[in-house]
Amino acid sequence: MPGLRCQHVALLLALATFSAGAEEQVMAPEAFLARAFHDEKPAEEVIWLDAPLQSRLRPILRHAYPRARLSYWRSGRRSAWVLDEIGKEFPITAGFVVQAGRIERANLLVYRESRGGEIRFPSFLKQFAGQRLDNGDQLSPDVDGVSGATLSVDAMRRMARAALALAAAADAKL
């Protein structure tokens, strides 16, 4: 029976490694910022998520953003936002570059879910380029879903909408 015991131990170790290794860094935040600003990363700025801004974010995210302030980077009217949002069970970290009220680029930075990782592919992410908010704070045009990744796609949509709303708030303070 010692062989069977070793198989159980090996299986438990494999499962522990899988669940502990579910976090995948797709792109380092520093690499995202270097691309966003052509290797000339501007100084980090902070936006306070005061009551009026939280009241705008709440319907977009379906909850208040869980921080009092948020870092972002700006050069002229181009800003970069690194946001987290729960997919099914775990936070998804994504970066969005916004210029003149439109998303210029979206990148998946860290993916922690066990399913739905198809949102990392360029064919999905390129749909965000050119997106803007309509009068109801919805993306215009909408982003197509990915079969089997519904909750991850929804999290990306919410983060894109939040990045656009945050960029508009930051631009209004210029």
Question: Per residue of the chain (174 residues), what is the pLDDT tens digit?
Answer: 455 454 443 333 333 334 444 799 999 999 999 999 998 999 999 999 999 999 999 999 999 999 999 999 999 999 999 999 999 999 999 999 999 999 999 999 999 999 999 999 999 999 999 999 999 999 998 888 898 899 999 999 999 999 999 999 999 988
Residue 125 lies in a domain: yes
Residue 64 lies in a domain: yes
Residue 11 lies in a domain: no
Residue 13 lies in a domain: no
Q: How much is the pLDDT for 147?
A: 87
Residue 7 lies in a domain: no
Q: How much is the pLDDT for 174?
A: 80
* Cα radius of gyration (the chain): 19
Q: How much is the pLDDT for 51?
A: 97
Q: How much is the pLDDT for 3?
A: 52
Could you give the number of structural domains in the chain? 1
Q: Please give the span between the terminal C-alpha atoms of the chain, in angstroms, as a whole number.
A: 72
Q: How much is the pLDDT for 2?
A: 53
Angle subtended by helix axes 51-61 and 150-172, to nearest 10: 160
pLDDT digits (tens, 9 = 90+) for 96-140: 999 999 999 999 999 999 999 999 999 999 999 999 999 999 999
Q: How much is the pLDDT for 22?
A: 75
Q: Which domain holds residue 93?
A: 23-172
Residue 4 lies in a domain: no
Q: How much is the pLDDT for 71?
A: 97
Is 89 buried (19+), middle (13-18) or exposed (0-12) by CB count in 10 A?
exposed
**Chain CA centroid to CA 31, Å:** 15
Q: Look up residue 155 and give its two tokens.
A: 């999290």
Residue 34 lies in a domain: yes
Residue 3 lies in a domain: no
